[in-house]
Structure 1
Amino acid sequence: MKIVSLVLKYLPEHTRDVQLGVEAVPGASVAHDQGDGRMLVLIEDGEGYAVSDSIIQVHHVPHVMSVTLAYEYCDDALEPEEA
């Protein structure tokens, strides 16, 4: 499992468009919208897509001016090895 959080910056008048664009990205959801042009987005990996692909798609959401990676978690090393 891989999870990342992103901080997006955009002009506040485009909040709805940015929110809809983010929610169209596989594995992405809006965790918090400050209402002032800042949004916290969570992305979790899933079947058929990688977190890295979703991050790139968020960069291409219309009206997004910047995307900052705030947190990254991966538990791949915790999974038991097969004998």
Structure 2
Amino acid sequence: MNTPHKKPRQGVLTPAKKRANKSKAQKRIFVEHLIRLLKIGRVASEIFRLKSQNYERIIWVVCGLVRWRIGAIVMCQ
């Protein structure tokens, strides 16, 4: 786990610690968005109702779409 720096009681964070917290928050939100994309797909969490021969092909398509979306997210930042 990579937790942010906590502000001391009756004190302030140094600029370096604030920058570190911002960097950690940006990484965390990126990971949370990826988790959201996987949950939206719901392929891994639900019962597969198609023929079992198609399962691997569907998983590869979903992985490709997620990788394409990740590339779109990374390019925007």
Looking at secondary structure, tell me which structure has more helix per residue. Answer: 2
TM range (shorter): 0.3 to 0.5
Looking at secondary structure, tell me which structure has more strand per residue. Answer: 1
